[in-house]
Amino acid sequence: MNKEQEEILKLKEEKNAVILAHNYQTAPIQEIADFLGDSLELCITASQIEDADLVVFCGVDFMAETAAILNPKKKILIPDPQAECPMAHMLPAEEVKNYKNKYPQAQVVLYVNTLAESKAEADILCTSANAVQVVESLDADQILFGPDMNLASYVQKRTDKEIIPIPEEGYCYVHKMFNIGDVTFSRENYPDAEVLVHPECDAEVQEIADHILSTGGMMRHVAGSDRKNFLIGTEVDMVTRLRRENPDKIIYPLLDEAICENMKLHNLQKVKESLQEEKFQVTVPPEIAVKARIAVERMLEVI
Ligand code: 13P
Ligand code: SF4
C-alpha cells in the first residue's frame, strides 16, 4: 500500500465508509476496495449494505445510481461525477416510452447500463451475467431489450422469445473496438490460450471466442479452470484483476487499447477527496427511484 492508499483506508474507518469498485478500475483502486465485482455482484452488495454511513462508488454513473436506488437513506458518493457510461445515455426514457406504445404486448428488459429515468420504465433489469435467465423468467413472448444490441443478439440466440433491440444500434465504444482480426492474430501468437470475451463485443467476435462471459463470469472461469493461458476480450483492467488474483496463470489482453476512459476518471486523489468532503453525492428523484427499484428488485429475485 502506498501513502495515499493508507490515508484512504484511515479515512474510510473514521467515516465508517465502504468502497465499492467495478472490475474495470485501476490496480490502486482495486487494492483499496472493500468489494470489487461485476455489475450484478455490485448490485447485490449494494442491496445488502447495512452498517456503513457512506458508500464510495468507483464505477460509472448508472452503477452509483443503482446503489442509490437500492439505498435511498444512505449517502452514496462518486469520486468523479463525470464518470458516465455513454451507452447508458443512448436510451433516454422518452424513447423507451415510444417503444412501449409501439409494442404494447411486449415486456421491457433493460440492461443495468441505463439511466435511472429509463430504469423506471422497465419491467425488469438485467446484467450481462443474468440476461438470458431474466428474459426466460418472463411470461411475454415479445421483449423490448436495450440498450446494448450485442447483448440483445447474444440473448436472441439463447431464447425462443422475440427480442427487439431498443434503440436499434446501442453499443459500448470499448467493446466495439474488438474485431475478428484481434482474435485470430492473438490465437496465432498464443495458441494455448483460451479466448474469453464479453457479450458487449460484436456478434462475429463472440462467435469465434471460446466463452462469452460477464466480468464476474471471467473471474470465476479463470479461477476454476485447469487451463493456464487466457486471452481476455474486455476492458484492460479486467486483466489487472485476473492477474492479481491468479498469479499462477498467464493472462493477456486481447486488445491493449480497450480502455473505458469513463471508468478511468476515478483515481486515488479523487477517492480521498470524496471521503474527506463527502462529495459527490448521487441522488435519484424519489418518484423515479421508487419505480426503478421495483425493476431492480425484480431482477434480484430472479438472479
Ligand atoms: P459487467 O457487468 O460484466 O461487469 O459489465 C459491465 C460493463 O459496463 C461492461 O462494459
Ligand atoms: Fe459503459 Fe462500455 Fe465503459 Fe462499460 S465499458 S462502462 S458499457 S462505456
The answer to whether 219 and 23 are in contact (CB under 8 A) is: yes
- Backbone angles phi and psi of 120, in degrees to 5: -65, -20
Among 23, 59, 44, 1, which Cα is nearest to 303's? Answer: 44
Question: Is the residue at 290 inside a domain?
Answer: no
Q: Kindly state the cell numbers that stand for 138.
A: 418472463
Does ligand 2 have an atom closer than 6 angstroms to the CB of 263? yes
Distance 211 CA to ligand 2 centre (A): 20
Looking at the structure, do residues 212 and 188 belong to the same domain, yes or no?
yes
pLDDT given at position 237: 98
Does ligand 2 have an atom closer than 6 angstroms to the CB of 235? yes
Q: What is the number of the ligand closest to the CA of 148? A: 2
- Report helix angle 237-245 to 215-224, nearest 10: 30
pLDDT given at position 245: 98
Looking at the structure, do residues 59 and 96 belong to the same domain, yes or no?
no
Looking at the structure, do residues 167 and 92 belong to the same domain, yes or no?
yes
Percent of the chain with pLDDT over 90: 99
SS3 195: strand
**Residue numbers belonging to the annotated binding site for [4Fe-4S] cluster:** 85, 172, 260
Neighbours of 68 (CB within 10 A): 25
SS3 177: helix
Element (H, E) at 273: helix 268-277
Distance 147 CA to ligand 2 centre (A): 12
pLDDT given at position 92: 98
Looking at the structure, do residues 132 and 81 belong to the same domain, yes or no?
no
Q: Who wins on pLDDT, 119 or 47?
A: 119
Mutate to test the pocket of ligand 1, among 20, 128, 241, 262 (most ligand atoms within 8 A of CB): 128
Report how far residue 74's alpha carbon sits from residue 47's, in angstroms, rounded to the nearest whole number.
11
Report how far residue 295's alpha carbon sits from residue 120's, in angstroms, rounded to the nearest whole number.
7
Question: Is the residue at 299 inside a domain?
Answer: no
Question: Is the residue at 292 inside a domain?
Answer: no
Among 135, 142, 91, 150, which Cα is nearest to 117's? Answer: 91
Distance 139 CA to ligand 1 centre (A): 26
Domain assignment of residue 279, given as a range: 3-85+263-283
Question: Is the residue at 35 inside a domain?
Answer: yes
Total domain count, the chain = 3
For residue 152, name the pLDDT band (cuts at 50, 70, 90): very high
Answer whether residue 89 shows pLDDT above 90: yes
Looking at the structure, do residues 161 and 183 belong to the same domain, yes or no?
no
pLDDT given at position 186: 96
Q: Which atom of ligand 2 is nearest to the CA of 87?
A: 1
pLDDT given at position 303: 84
Model confidence over 198-222: pLDDT tens digits?
A: 999 999 999 999 999 999 999 999 9
Question: Is the residue at 289 inside a domain?
Answer: no
The enclosing domain of 211 has a CATH number of 3.40.50.10800
pLDDT given at position 142: 98
Percent of the chain with pLDDT over 70: 100
Neighbours of 66 (CB within 10 A): 30
Answer whether residue 34 shows pLDDT above 90: yes
Q: What value of ipTM does the predicted structure carry?
A: 0.98
Looking at the structure, do residues 96 and 167 belong to the same domain, yes or no?
yes
Question: Is the residue at 107 inside a domain?
Answer: yes
SS in 3 state form for 73-124?
CCEEECCCCCCCCCCHHHCCHHHHHHHHHHCCCCEEEEECCCCHHHHCCCCE
Question: Is the residue at 294 inside a domain?
Answer: no
Model confidence over 225-253: pLDDT tens digits?
A: 999 999 999 999 999 999 999 999 999 99
Cis peptide leading into residue 147 (ω within 30°): yes
